[in-house]
Amino acid sequence: MLRHPVLVLPFLFLLLIASILVTTCIGVSGLLLWNFDTEMLQKLLFEVRLPRVLGAMLVGLGLAAAGCAMQGLFRNPMADPYIIGTASGGALGAAFAIVLLGGLFLPALAFLGATLSTIGVYMISLRNGRVTGETLLLSGIAVSFFLSALLSFFMYISGNSLHQIMFWMMGGFWDVYWDKVLLGLLIPAACMVLFVFSRDLNVMTLGEEEAIHLGVNTEKTKRILLLTSSFITGIAVAIAGGIGFIGLIIPHVMRIIVGPDHRVLLPASMMVGAALLMWADTAARTLPVEIPVGIITAFFGAPFFIYLLRGRTRV
Q: Strand ranges (DSSP E) for 38-144?
A: none
246-279 b/e with 16+ CB inside 10 Å = b? Answer: bbbbbbbbbbeebbebbebbbbbbbbbbbbbbbb
> In the chain, what are the helix, strand and coil shares in percent, each to the nearest 5?
80, 0, 20
| Domain ranges, residue 273 | 5-314
The pLDDT score that the predictor gives to residue 306 is 81
Give the containing element (helix H, strand E) for 292. none
Q: What is the pTM (predicted TM-score) of this model?
A: 0.91
How far is residue 123's CA from residue 120's CA, in Å, rounded to a whole number?
5
Who contacts 180 (Cβ-Cβ below 8 Å, separation ≥6)?
Answer: 51, 55, 107, 239
Distance CA 106, CA 258 (A): 38
Neighbours of 181 (CB within 10 A): 18
Burial class (CB in 10 A: 0-12, 13-18, 19+), 11: exposed
CA atoms within 13 A on the CB side of 286: 15
Mean pLDDT, the chain cut into blocks of 10 residues (315 residues total): 80 96 78 59 80 96 94 84 87 91 88 90 84 84 92 90 87 90 95 94 85 85 90 92 90 90 95 96 88 89 77 54
CATH of the domain at 36: 1.10.3470.10
Q: How many angstroms separate the CA atoms of 230 and 190, rounded?
A: 10
Question: Based on the structure, what is the number of domains in the chain?
Answer: 1
Give me the half-sphere count of Cα atoms (radius 13 Å) on the Cβ side of residue 86. Answer: 31
